[in-house]
Structure 1
Amino acid sequence: MRSTSEPSFGQERIWLLEQLLPDTVMHHLTMAYEIRGPLDPAVLSRAAEAVVERHAQLRTTFHERDGRPFVTVHDSAPPVLRVVPVASLDQWEGRAEEERAVRFDLSELPLMRITLYPIGDDHHVLLIVLHHILTDGAGMGVLLDELSDAYAGLHDGGRWQPADLPTTYQQHVAQERTAATDGSWTKDLAYWRERLHDAPAVFTMPGAAPRPSRPTLSAHAAQASLTDADVTALQEFARRHRVSPAMVLSAAWVATLSRHCGDRDILVGTSVSGRDRAELRGLIGLFMNVVTLRVQAPAGTSFADLVTRVRDETLTAMVHRRPPFAAVVAELGRERSLAYNPVYQILFNNASRSTQAFAGVPELTSRRLPLASAALQTDLELVVAPEADQRTLLNLEASADIYEEATAALLLEHMVNLLRHGMAAPDTPVDQLSLVTEEQHRDLLRLCAPPRTPLPDVGSALELMLASIDKNPDAPAVHSGSRRFTYAELGRHAGQLAERLAREGVTRGDVVAVHLDRSVEALLAILASWQLGAAYLPVDPTYPRRRVEFILRDARAQVIVSGPGTAPDTFAALGTRVVVVDEVDGDAADGPPLTVSAGGDGEDPAYVIYTSGSTGQPKGVNVPHRAVVNFLTSMAERPGLTHDDVMLALTSPSFDISVLELLLPLMVGARIALASTEDARDPQRLLDLVTNERVTVMQATPVTWDAVLALAPAHLRLRLALCGGEALTRPLANRLCAVASQVWNMYGPTETTVWSLIAPVRPGPDDEVVPIGRPIRNTSAWVLNSDGGVLPAGVVGELHLGGSGLALGYRGRPGLTDQRFVAGPPETGTERLYRTGDLVRLRLDGDFEFLGRADSQVKIRGHRIEVDEIASLLRRHPRVRDAVVVARDDGAGNRQLVAYVVPAGLSAPTAQTNESR
């Protein structure tokens, strides 16, 4: 005989997931015990059969009719115990993993397997694997208790005569189905609809990997233990604040997650037994439910206040716990996805104390063996497990699909530290609770702010060049096509140009616009400007005329240095004097030597470079000589450049990485191989130039490197390859390592002078992230949260940079300067820091890792672009009502800007979009 009926809501949800993920073992519940003593397998088998006969759930299968599941309860079931001898406990672990991975067919009995592994006559391991659709964690405890009781009763020929069960699981299901239709849950569902209607749909932590559409459900596991002192403090804190210890731990968990993700609105699922009535407590069945705690902690919330919020949220949720989670999800109407659990993706469970197997059998002793879950059902699952010796274990599993292996251990470590600090100082705002120990904090400060070293005693960067000219007057300085210049010739030409600029009125503090592409003449203009104490302003001749005019007006350039190909009326509207420089020869006549103007100071501007601006207008960054001196002297040490090197200069002077290519070789006595505009645009010509000029050092953006390496001959070898401007992928890094003895990844915004963090690169797996490295000399790098607090290693925040490389600010923009150049927190000594807008984290190995932007800025071929600037300009057009600009990959690894425009006059913004490339 057999009977059929409907499944419970919980069973129906599990059945549906099994259909969508047919290969999953995520619903396998397991427990294992090591047993010492004379265990009788035959008696154990009869005990298991008795328990199966007593509980209908263990004789249940699941089937489909018209796309919906139904349940069949069988009168009998096949034996569930197998005996599999093993040689050792180590061998059992491998067998157990295999056993746990064997899937159940929900339409066939049994849906439980009990395996006994004899290791010796008095040494066994018992493994129970059961499908979650039959029962829950509490039911597993009932199963073990009854299996133990039955064994004790049947041992030595006795009988097991338990009391009759007061009800059945199918009667519970019938009551649940009735409640779903008679309005019993109306108030409860209304509560959940109101409480969760505007809650975040998906929990995300910066730096997590994109979610796969079909998760693997594999997990990284970590474990931490609260000390006796911790447990005592926890119990006392809970008593004093009239909460349970679990509520305090839940609050610490929420606070840790909030600190890591930067969100103050956290959803956490927590399990409730569902066995509210006494007659249900001895049943094997799926009663467990999950309620969602929505914990909101505004800025300034103290740890004590957070604990109170968690208590109130928990108690209110428990009042409305009756509807099954599946019914709440249906009520919310949330979009379903296999990629993540609906409503919550974080689980907090307070486990009951471990049950001891065969406690009623005097000659047997047992201990529970730890087992990781077969598969993770949420992104993060924390289980608090009190142990028999009064310890409390914290077991955390993190989805391997989206989190790195170290994440679970790091989260637990931070949670324990935050808990200790919160209990010791409960009135402290959560945002200020320490995630690390005092020793770890000291180590963090040393990584973020390495010891400073003295700068060269010079008033300007020009003095570094002059020292090299004096030391190497006849050495080759620059090769540009067929033209050759020694250091002495370069100095005399620069001195001659400085005289011409002086006659045009250029003095200290002025700005000289260099309207030239990469060329010897552009380099001369830079040196000549510095001789007079002026800053140079690179203006790319290929820029649109309106942008050029804006930059020249905004910078208030005293003189414009331009080439002979410039049209006479190009700058007529500006009223600015123009100095036209013809192509000079290396064989210079006797001219005035290059000198340094009197009264120069390291804080004088060395150059002004305009970058994209989110307001629709470019902004000029004022970089002082102090910053240039620090940058060049640091680069001369690491990655290092010597007088024997030949460095390729292929970057436009309007891009600040040209500072390294044009000036670092001159400082150390090396030679510059200057690429023409045509060379820079053609990868094959670049390769020919590298070969013909015997280039040893090359710097480029990832896009340029990719194009060059695609054509590179097998014999191409460089001493040093530098890559920056955009994120360096591991595959490209590995290709660079194949052609260069040294490869360095470089990172830095214009506002902190070219490169601020650098990292040596070695070959590695293609899925490995290439870090952006550590600070260069006299540079500090801090990961701060939105409130300006210092974040420890592993936590994602906004990178702030300080030190000698810091720019003076934005020219003529004091308000914007104050927004981006800010006072650091106390740990920094309140030094001035630049907010980069880049999301990073400090890795445990001391390197920084770039994770993306905190705003709308993007980089295309190494150039920094504020997409809001472009959108702002598009909106000014009379035929455009609105515009959005994004960076998009074209499918071949090339990023391009795409503008989506809403034409003026449309009634609805979504009616039409025009794509412009």
Structure 2
Amino acid sequence: QVLKVESVGIHDNFFELGGHSLLATQLVSRIRDQFQIEIPLQTVFVETTIAELGKVIEQLQKQNLQLAAPEILPRGGNAELPLSYAQQRLWFIDQFEPNSASYNIPIALRLQGKLEFTALENSFREIINRHEALRTNFQAREGKAAQIIHQTTNWQISVINLQHSVTETNIQELIQQQLIQPFDLANESLFRATLIVLSETEHLLLICMHHIISDGWSMGVFVDELATLYNTYIQGKETTLKPLPIQYADFAIWQRNWLQGEILERQLNYWQKQLETAPKFLPLPTDRPRPAVQTFAGAYQEFALSEELSNKLIKLSQEQGVTLFMTLLAAYDVLLYRYTGQTDILVGSPIANRNQKEIEGLIGFFVNTLVFRSELSENLSFNELLTQIRTTALSAYAHQDLPFEMLVEALEIERNLSHSPLFQVMFALQNAPNSDVELTGLTVKDVPIEITTAKFDLTLSMSQTATGITGGWEYNTDLFDSSTIERMTGHFITLLTEIVEKPQTEIKELPILTTSEKQ
């Protein structure tokens, strides 16, 4: 069920079958549901087969322990609707920068074939009915922010007819225009869809949501439901989508009730101990002096690893008993260490934070940010760094419930307007379930959206695809030139190529110069 494979032997290794930490989290939540017991995520990394996990489950059942977190339940009729901690932070940011589009989450799809407009609009409306988050606004009530959920809306798709008058350049301009329109959190729908008619059989569908009601995983949920509903409308069938057990506001109430007292204390203590003495700034060499106030002007540059290198990285991860995320993060740390000379490095990373089965199918802002600290001494080998990162990551996952905004507050970091607090570089491995969109009678293609903002100095995002591992750098263009980022890609690939061949090499000895640079 979790690995989406036909059959699993009781001695098959979870990670060799394609498991990773996100799927391990889902496995833990399925075990919690099924057996009413709490297995720490670390256990899945140690006891990696059904046979081994079965023994652990048996022992825990005998102990009759309480679950770590109560179930999330639907709220009562007149409950006040607070914001979740993550929403609260975005709401505060919006009060200071009300016309910013930095937190817009867009997708663009090209639809070729005969489009049934009514079926499309009905599908959207049904999704809006299903998910309260898409009918929510945020207003100040008695000095506090509250979620205002509308029972009905008059939402509709905007249609722009551009038949016979559009070029590819116009299309990119149009996409940018639509996607950089700010949202008014208090008064308007935080979910927009625009259909651009290019011809009778060609359309562009632009979808944009504000991050306060959505995240990357939510976009996957949205696209899945859109495909299911559109296809059932076209085929004249009944929808197969199950009713949602809870809504996002139920999660926000649950989070505020649960995350307090001793539970909050435990999470805070862990992170304070982990990060208190770490340097809060990474001095990456930049092409220009850092502006006094951080700008968010950005660009994006993609690259791909060869199939051979990709396979070797996956194999190395399995041999070392780590996930691909851990291997790539370790390599990124080495790159940052070689660029800065700093041996104590903090890297931020998004985590889906959907630990309960009941929130896996919800649209909403659940994603949290974890901070990974790596201590790299010169004579450390890559293997040793990998072991350190595995330990760090597993304990970070065990303390992933503390909202990032609370952590920043608790650490009392001196704010510096020229850079983000705590860390300035990010790493993400995209493995949230994002399926390809299949709409009856249509060929659907993703349209790449040009990225013009950067939330951090440098973010490395990687993905595992059918043909290998791909990556992309989101970088601040006031700090870096595109040629610098191109060089960085060359260094990173050289580093990875050496790591898979000789993981026992000391990190200071690992080569990063490309062949042409050596010449």
Q: Is the CA contact (8 Å cut-off) linking 1:6 and 1:71 kept in structure 2?
A: yes
Q: Is the CA contact (8 Å cut-off) linking 1:382 and 1:397 kept in structure 2?
A: yes
Query: 1: CA distance between counterparts of 2:513 and 2:156?
Result: 49
Query: 2: CA distance between counterparts of 1:256 and 1:319?
Result: 27
Q: Secondary structure at the match of 1:172?
A: helix
Q: What are the within-5 Å matches in structure 2 for residues 499-538 of structure 1?
A: none
1:218 paired residue number: 297
2:507 paired residue number: 430
> Are 1:203 and 2:282 an aligned pair?
yes
1:6 paired residue number: 82
Q: Secondary structure at the match of 2:213?
A: coil
1:418 paired residue number: 495
2:197 paired residue number: 118
Query: 1: CA distance between counterparts of 2:377 and 2:503?
Result: 16
Change (3 A) 1:356 1:32: farther
Q: Is the CA contact (8 Å cut-off) linking 2:282 and 2:342 kept in structure 1?
A: no
1:33 to 97, 109, 132: 109
Q: How high is the TM-score relative to the length of structure 2?
A: 0.81
Query: 2: CA distance between counterparts of 1:404 and 1:438?
Result: 22
Q: Secondary structure at the match of 1:107?
A: coil
1:245 paired residue number: 324
2:459 paired residue number: 381
Q: What are the within-5 Å matches in structure 2 for residues 613-762 of structure 1?
A: none
Q: What displacement does 1:366 show?
A: 1.7
Change (3 A) 1:386 1:84: farther
Q: Is the CA contact (8 Å cut-off) linking 1:105 and 1:111 kept in structure 2?
A: yes
Change (3 A) 1:66 1:309: same
Q: What displacement does 1:156 show?
A: 4.5
2:272 to 193, 198, 207: 193
1:769 paired residue number: none
1:298 paired residue number: 377
Q: Is the CA contact (8 Å cut-off) linking 2:83 and 2:252 kept in structure 1?
A: yes
2:442 paired residue number: 364
Structure with greater helix share of residues: 2
Change (3 A) 1:355 1:21: same
Matched residue type, 1:79: W
Query: 2: CA distance between counterparts of 1:23 and 1:180?
Result: 32
Q: Secondary structure at the match of 1:222?
A: strand
Q: Is the CA contact (8 Å cut-off) linking 1:220 and 1:399 kept in structure 2?
A: yes
2:353 paired residue number: 274
Percent same amino acid among aligned pairs?
27
Q: How high is the TM-score relative to the length of structure 1?
A: 0.46
Matched residue type, 2:184: D
2:313 to 224, 231, 234: 234
2:476 paired residue number: 399
Q: Secondary structure at the match of 1:5?
A: coil
> Are 1:166 and 2:255 an aligned pair?
no
Q: What displacement does 1:400 show?
A: 1.7
Query: 1: CA distance between counterparts of 2:199 and 2:121?
Result: 18
Per-residue CA deviations over 1:656-708 (Å, capped at 9, x if unaligned) read: xxxxxxxxxxxxxxxxxxxxxxxxxxxxxxxxxxxxxxxxxxxxxxxxxxxxx
Q: What displacement does 1:78 show?
A: 2.7
1:133 to 212, 227, 235: 212
1:182 to 249, 261, 277: 261
Q: What displacement does 1:362 show?
A: 4.1
Query: 1: CA distance between counterparts of 2:222 and 2:337?
Result: 38
Bigger mean CA deviation after superposition, 228-237 or 153-162: 153-162
Query: 1: CA distance between counterparts of 2:154 and 2:79?
Result: 17
Q: Is the CA contact (8 Å cut-off) linking 1:92 and 1:117 kept in structure 2?
A: no
Q: Is the CA contact (8 Å cut-off) linking 1:300 and 1:429 kept in structure 2?
A: yes
Query: 2: CA distance between counterparts of 1:38 and 1:358?
Result: 16
Matched residue type, 1:236: K
2:36 paired residue number: none
Q: How many corresponding residue pairs?
A: 440
2:68 paired residue number: none
Matched residue type, 2:244: L
Taking only aligned residues, the RMSD between alpha carbons, in angstroms, comes to 2.0
Per-residue CA deviations over 1:585-642 (Å, capped at 9, x if unaligned) read: xxxxxxxxxxxxxxxxxxxxxxxxxxxxxxxxxxxxxxxxxxxxxxxxxxxxxxxxxx
Q: What displacement does 1:406 show?
A: 2.4
2:467 paired residue number: 390
Query: 2: CA distance between counterparts of 1:70 and 1:203?
Result: 37
Query: 2: CA distance between counterparts of 1:350 and 1:408?
Result: 19
Per-residue CA deviations over 1:62-102 (Å, capped at 9, x if unaligned) read: 11245542211111223241222333444221100111111
> Are 1:285 and 2:364 an aligned pair?
yes
Change (3 A) 1:126 1:281: same
Q: Is the CA contact (8 Å cut-off) linking 1:248 and 1:307 kept in structure 2?
A: yes
> Are 1:92 and 2:171 an aligned pair?
yes
Matched residue type, 2:128: V
Matched residue type, 2:375: Q
Q: Is the CA contact (8 Å cut-off) linking 1:220 and 1:408 kept in structure 2?
A: no
Q: Is the CA contact (8 Å cut-off) linking 2:460 and 2:473 kept in structure 1?
A: yes
Q: Secondary structure at the match of 1:154?
A: helix
Query: 2: CA distance between counterparts of 1:224 and 1:166?
Result: 41
Gaps of 5+ in 1: 443-917
Gaps of 5+ in 2: 1-76
Change (3 A) 1:30 1:374: farther
Change (3 A) 1:403 1:358: closer
Per-residue CA deviations over 1:31-86 (Å, capped at 9, x if unaligned) read: 11222221212211111111011100000011124554221111122324122233
Q: Is the CA contact (8 Å cut-off) linking 2:300 and 2:451 kept in structure 1?
A: no
Q: Is the CA contact (8 Å cut-off) linking 1:34 and 1:369 kept in structure 2?
A: yes
Query: 2: CA distance between counterparts of 1:332 and 1:412?
Result: 33
Matched residue type, 2:209: L
Q: What displacement does 1:269 show?
A: 0.8
Query: 2: CA distance between counterparts of 1:351 and 1:207?
Result: 27
Change (3 A) 1:337 1:158: farther
- Which protein is bigger by CA-based radius of gyration? 1
Per-residue CA deviations over 1:169-200 (Å, capped at 9, x if unaligned) read: 11111111112333212111101001110111
Q: What displacement does 1:129 show?
A: 0.9
2:95 paired residue number: 19
Per-residue CA deviations over 1:114-164 (Å, capped at 9, x if unaligned) read: 112222222222211110000111011111111111111212444435211
Q: Secondary structure at the match of 2:431?
A: coil
Structure with greater strand share of residues: 1
Q: What displacement does 1:352 show?
A: 2.3
Q: Is the CA contact (8 Å cut-off) linking 1:60 and 1:109 kept in structure 2?
A: no
Matched residue type, 1:127: L
Change (3 A) 1:166 1:158: same
Q: What displacement does 1:316 show?
A: 1.3
2:120 paired residue number: 44
Q: What displacement does 1:338 show?
A: 4.2
Matched residue type, 2:391: D
Q: Secondary structure at the match of 2:492?
A: helix
Query: 2: CA distance between counterparts of 1:256 and 1:367?
Result: 34
Q: Is the CA contact (8 Å cut-off) linking 1:2 and 1:75 kept in structure 2?
A: no
1:773 paired residue number: none
Q: What displacement does 1:356 show?
A: 4.3
Q: Secondary structure at the match of 1:125?
A: strand
Matched residue type, 1:377: K
Query: 2: CA distance between counterparts of 1:77 and 1:406?
Result: 48
